[in-house]
Chain A
Amino acid sequence: MDRWIRRTVERHLPWNVHLDLTYRCNERCVHCYLDHQDYGEMTTLEIEGVLKQLAEAGTLFLTLSGGEIFLRQDLFELIAVARRLHFDLSVKTNALFIDAEKARRLKDLGVRGVQISIYSAEPEIHDAITKVRGSLERSLAAIRTLLRENLHVKIACPLMTQNLMAYRGVQALAESLGIPYILDLTITPKMNGDAAILSLRNPVQDLLPILQDPIFHPRSCDPGEAANPSLAISDTGSSSSSGLGSRAYDDIPCSAGHNSCYISPYGDVFPCVQMPVATGNLRRERFEKIWFHSAEMKRVRAVRESQLPVCSSCTIRTYCERCPGLAQMEGGDLLGAYERACQLAETKAALAGVENPISALHTWNGRGSLSNKVLSTAPLQPGCV
């Protein structure tokens, strides 16, 4: 597959597209960054047009997400169109609406993957996050229904203050079901810029039990492996599900704008769901024009890791999972360093045995090593976000 990824990066083909069909949702997850109000979603016809443009542009991997996609009455109609256009189809859902018939239809329409968020194996924790009583039980019932149809189901478990240590239960649950899972440490500000939900994000020192857990870092003592952390855990959200282990991404921050992008329910095109850089709207322009000719898309595409003003000189770069979108959201600069990534990198480097690891940002700021403080259990300095 690496050969194909390389080709798509070199030729800037939109190989991997995440399309949110709606921001409406039947859950009210405490950490959600979306505004669930409907401000005029694209119609069935408009989305069909978008899908045709994506197929023409070369998109293979299409993820339909939201919001809750089953709130779109035309969902199966859209999936059927996507099938006729030969996309590799995955969906993200809370699965509350999935019954045997819907599971069968997903299977019949050739949907390859279904990702479902599970926050804990304990109902009181999961339901408190979704704010829907009984939601864990219903989501788990739906997972079993999907598995009976032999669909590929994956559990996604965003971790926050409410459920950090629930990951072991989720892991056991996934193993008992025989399905993969991903833990996600990413909590982002709301789309309107409201950063209050960042208070739900675990401080880096609280992540030590996870970062030290050999389940996720079986080779963490080898610095050479640090650049390829287990895919089972992520602090960069969706971007790390794009085959980023490929050498095709050498010297570019990630796939965003190179061979992947995000489209909102209103037709806005962004390099990534986590990168608030508006590049155009599909109600006014064709996809190819935005993808190939938008000045903002070109700006994102021009970024090279080796030219980042701070991070390029960082001695612990291989331990860092810097996300350009989060750099923009949290530090206000697509090219910049941001506190959270630096703290995590220092901690990971220290855990891997690097002596006195200091990120370039903290070197510039004249601060001492955070990691030593972490390992001596002293509290971390508060992050800047």
Chain B
Amino acid sequence: MNECPERNPKLAWREIDGEIVIISPEDSQVHELNETASLIWKYSDGIRSCKEIAAELAAEFDVSLEVARDDVAQLVKALEEKRLLFVAAAVEG
């Protein structure tokens, strides 16, 4: 959970009513994120770690930290596979 996900800078995206729509210029694919995924997306700034994002998520949606961590791990993995997010290891210290 120490990795820091970062949005692919080539992507186009906007938020409407708390939900994110993403368009990939490579294949013109449209990706629609639900409210939870949208929050994870917004926090994926390359600075916050997955652990920190999970803590934000737990506070925002009033779920346990364990559930939030699972959600973040699953979603980051899925978005990384679609090349929407890049994941770098957190810098220690």
Contacts and interface: CB of A to CB of B under 8 A. Distances in A.
Contact of B23 (A7, A8, A88): A88
B88 interface: no
A7 B25 contact: no
B12 A88 contact: yes
Given A89-B25, A112-B25, A60 B14 contact: yes
B7 to A, nearest CB: 9
B17 A110 contact: no
Given A88-B25, A112-B28, A60 B17 contact: no
Interface string A94-122: 00000000000000001110000000000
Given A60-B23, A86-B11, 9 more contacts: A1-B30, A7-B16, A7-B17, A13-B16, A60-B14, A84-B9, A86-B12, A111-B25, A112-B23
Contacts of A59: 14
Nearest to B13: A86
Interface residue tally on B, bucketed by range: 10 to 19
Given A110-B25, A112-B28, A152-B28, A83 B10 contact: yes
Given A60-B23, A88-B23, A112-B23, A8 B28 contact: no
Interface of B: 9-14, 16-17, 21, 23, 25-26, 28, 30, 32
B12 A112 contact: yes
17 contacts: A1-B21, A3-B32, A11-B16, A58-B16, A59-B14, A60-B13, A86-B11, A86-B12, A86-B14, A88-B25, A89-B12, A89-B25, A110-B10, A110-B25, A111-B25, A112-B28, A152-B28
Given A1-B30, A83-B9, A83-B10, A8 B16 contact: yes
B30 to A, nearest CB: 6
Contacts of B11: 86, 110
Interface string A66-87: 0000000000000000011011
A4 interface: yes
A110 B12 contact: yes
A362 B58 CA distance: 65
A14 B25 CA distance: 20
Interface in A205-220: none
Given A7-B16, A86-B12, A88-B12, A60 B25 contact: no
B28 A87 contact: no
Contacts of B9: 83-84, 110
